Structure 1
């Protein structure tokens, strides 16, 4: 999961601030907790971009969506395996192309309407029949990552849709049909982008009426003010001016009720400011704790939770922007030039490790026998000379005003890696850009970038979600075409037998590291911290923390 690349300008009137947020501050004590025992104020690094998860891929939008919406299948708490969500069970047919889901009964949406099979089909048909700007990869990124195209593709470059149809067999049984076997199903249905919305609310607030242009996307009122799911919390307000979003307990929730009445997500972009707000009691938790702050805050008695490392930081190499980078020897030289162990030791939290491939070793398909590129200055110089690129100059983009789970301090990481490159004779032109939208637009579209830092936190425990997301088709981020590699991905994805598919993913990891489209840098266990008297939240490798179980001692 990484932030959306869309060039959206969100035009919406600011919503009035919720008084509860102010109460949480005024009632604070000096112990890092809050005497308002039914309200948790949580500090986040950035504003959500949109409240309809169909359009979201940034972490803060998805954090809110996971509390308000639910999916048919959800990750196990603290893990990555699919477990029952709005569906109690599921089963494929003999061909593996139609999956039947048995739905929970007695579930209602936040607007009081019933959840049933027809509601599920209304959602899938909405996504499948997207038209106009809804077919932009900046608007429906996850649908396109998982399903490919739509019922009627308006862009000839869009692939055929993996999704075929939805059939409500009875109120509690729904069949999802797909055009082929895919390793993505059912795991991908855990994504918040496939959360089930109230059909009545979708219609009432014209939820698919995305307007504007590709460079200036404007979302409908539903996506900004009226998200309506079945989750343990309901959306209450979003005060854009004061950077505060509030959700409240769903008293009619079908499962265990949330233990707290109110959760306030407050945007505090500066990492040190988040830390000081926790210490002063202005907030009772925050995410993306700086590596250097983990042990001090833990020793002060704060509740420090460390997520398992389920991500990858990488240096992307764009072969289209600079002809020299299309030479394998040059890409190999860059890989050998980087002292990744020194970076892990000095800039990442305890438990981080150097990556040998573009997915962590906790995912089936990780291959211990891929080609590796150890730190070797002389080998890097030799390879550059052999490629006729000893006087290479590269534009190295890095982001500002952001902290990511896999990249706690982008500028520090850039400086270390650029010094490594300079040490083998490469001239580096550093190009800092604001994370959203400037950096994301510059590095994932067009060709005016040579190197850049980016990463990924897995959405579910399947190899395709890592390496397939990056390398299964031509992408502007990498700037190359490799049909044999793309065909290899297609073959692996359509292999029904899991053991055979895992072996094919191992082969793909080996092929990717031979081709070397970029350099995997590290896997990092990001930390999330809560106040001294806040308990009940279990860290998730997917950042799927459940705030409904949070409580004050």
Structure 2
């Protein structure tokens, strides 16, 4: 998810002064009703973009919606293995094109509706039949990544639909069929963007439309305020106070599984990492994510809990070859790669355990190759390549996000300044283009509006295709290139049913991608998350998929 991990997908807000952070203070949480403390407040790095996860691709949205919506398949707590979600079991036929899900009994949606196979199919058919702005990849990013296009594609560059049908075999058996086997499944069934909504809610969704295009998209009203969306999770969304940058969720007492350990869960956007740390130290919040590497030891000495997740992300500089035609020259792309001192970024900006990337996936995922073409820091070589390309006066717009930190990108402005300096030393003129993260920056990068941009991905599930296939399995506006050799390499890997053979094909695909060089993979890093001394924290996830229903107060 951009977080894309995993379409990573997919997040912001102006920094709040610690002095004005009042909700969820310790006195408010001193009550004990037998189910844990009253309110748990978490400091998020950015605003969600939508309360409907199907319209999102960013981690800050999914952090919120994951507490309220569940998918057919989930990941084990604290790990990356697939386990039952709303489906207690699942299986595919030998061709990998027919998936059968046995649903749990007695599951209720937040609006009182029952979970049935027909409800599941209503969700998938709803997404498949999207029209208009919903077919924009900035809105339906994950549907297009996992299932391809729509019942009727309206754009020439829309992917071919792979979704075929969903059938309710009986009340609690749903059968989903796709046209071709893909490495995106079964992992794709675990995505928040494909989490299951109440059929009554979907009826309400269908009466509203997203509008606009490119970086001027207006999302439907139901997705921007609480009251309509309804999932099956341990919490239900009850309020989104955009003025105070807070989303409030309440415990859902009819939840089918273990009840949440707190009555209320509040996500408060505090964009600046230092302000999040100060809020925790002041007792105004109970936890926060994306701890600055320099703060980990200090917080631990003060008695705070600061678990570090495993490495499962990638940070990269993307090129849009349609936004800037000079980037269509391979020598120019190579020059930019050689101009950026990635080792310095890892050394000065990332926590201990950060590594310089050689390809568009971390080395913790099977399919990572040790035979890819590499581009070590070399300013003189960068200048020479620009000469060869007759681009000594190359000028680029370089977009970067404001008011946000991400697991792979702890301080965007600092990272941008380092890379801007490196590029200018190679003779490249850089025009800064700062943008608010959600939805402006995400929409602009998704639509290929930036010559260069900074982005990254935290894996959604443990398969190499969730990284490299997310971007390079076919034409993508973010990158704006068409190269049959790259696309064919990914297609060969995706369609190979044998896991061992598929891993070898992923290695070959990584080698093809890094020879073509659509962008510059920079680094992977292990993000830390912090909790107050009196909190029983959830299991931390390498996929950043923490379940806050596991939280309680000591």
Q: TM-score, normalised by structure 2?
A: 0.91
* CA–CA distance in structure 2, aligned partners of residues 232 and 475 of structure 1: 36
How much has 1:441 moved relative to structure 2?
A: 4.1
Q: Specify the alignment match of 1:394 in structure 2.
A: 396
Deviation of the 1:28 alpha carbon: 6.6
Deviations 1:160-208 (A, max 9, x none): 21111111111221111110111111101110111111112322x3455
Kindly indicate whether residue 127 of structure 2 is the aligned counterpart of residue 127 of structure 1. yes
Contact persistence 1:302–1:532 (CA under 8 A): yes
Give 1:334 deviation, angstroms.
2.0
Q: Report the 3-state secondary structure (helix = DSSP H, G, I; strand = E; otherwise coil) of the residue aligned with 1:526.
A: coil
Cα deviation 1:45-100 (Å, max 9, x = unaligned): 22222111111222222111111111110012112221111111111112221011
Q: For the residues of structure 1 that align with 2:49 and 2:223, how far apart are their CA atoms?
A: 13
**SS of structure 2 residue aligned to 1:481:** coil
Residue 206 and residue 442 in structure 1: after superposition, are their counterparts in 2 closer, same or farther (change >3 A)? closer
* Residues 314-351 of structure 1: CA deviation (Å, up to 9, x unaligned): 11223334444322223222222222111111111111
Which 5+ residue runs of structure 2 have no aligned equivalent?
A: 8-20, 31-35
Q: Which secondary structure does the structure 1 equivalent of 2:145 belong to?
A: helix
In structure 1, how many angstroms separate the alpha carbons of the residues matched to 2:105 and 2:302? 46
- Alpha carbons 2:386, 2:392 under 8 Å: kept: yes
Query: What do residues 276-307 of structure 1 show as CA deviations (whole Å, max 9, x unaligned)?
Result: 11111111111122222222112211111212
Do the aligned partners of 2:392 and 2:427 also contact (CA within 8 Å) in 1? Answer: yes
Q: 5 Å matches for 1:128-527?
A: 128-203=128-203, 205-207=204-206, 209-214=208-213, 215-221=216-222, 224-225=225-226, 226-446=228-448, 449-527=450-528
Which stretches of structure 1, 4 residues or more, deviate above 4 A after TM superposition? none
What is the CA-CA distance between 1:531 and the residue it aligns to?
0.5
Assess if the C-alpha contact under 8 Å between 1:355 and 1:521 holds in 2: yes
Structure 1 211/362 Cα, relative in aligned 2: closer, same or farther at 3 Å?
closer
Q: CA deviation digits over 1:438-465, x for unaligned, max 9?
A: 4334434355x43221111111111111
What's the counterpart of residue 72 of structure 2? 72
2:2 is the alignment partner of 1:2:
yes
Asked if the contact 2:29–2:37 (Cα under 8 Å) also holds between the matched residues in 1, the reply is no
Instruction: Give deviations 1:358-399, integer Å, cap 9, x for gaps.
Output: 001111211121111122233333333333334433333222
1:397 is paired with a residue whose SS is strand
Please give the per-residue CA displacement for 1:109-136, whole angstroms capped at 9, x wherever unaligned.
1222221211111111111122233323
**1:33 matched residue in structure 2:** none
Report how far residue 222 of structure 1 moved. 6.1
- Say if 1:216 and 1:520 are closer, same or farther in 2 by CA, change over 3 A: closer
Post-superposition offset of 1:22: 6.1
Take 1:49 and 1:441, find their aligned partners in 2: how far apart are those partners? 11
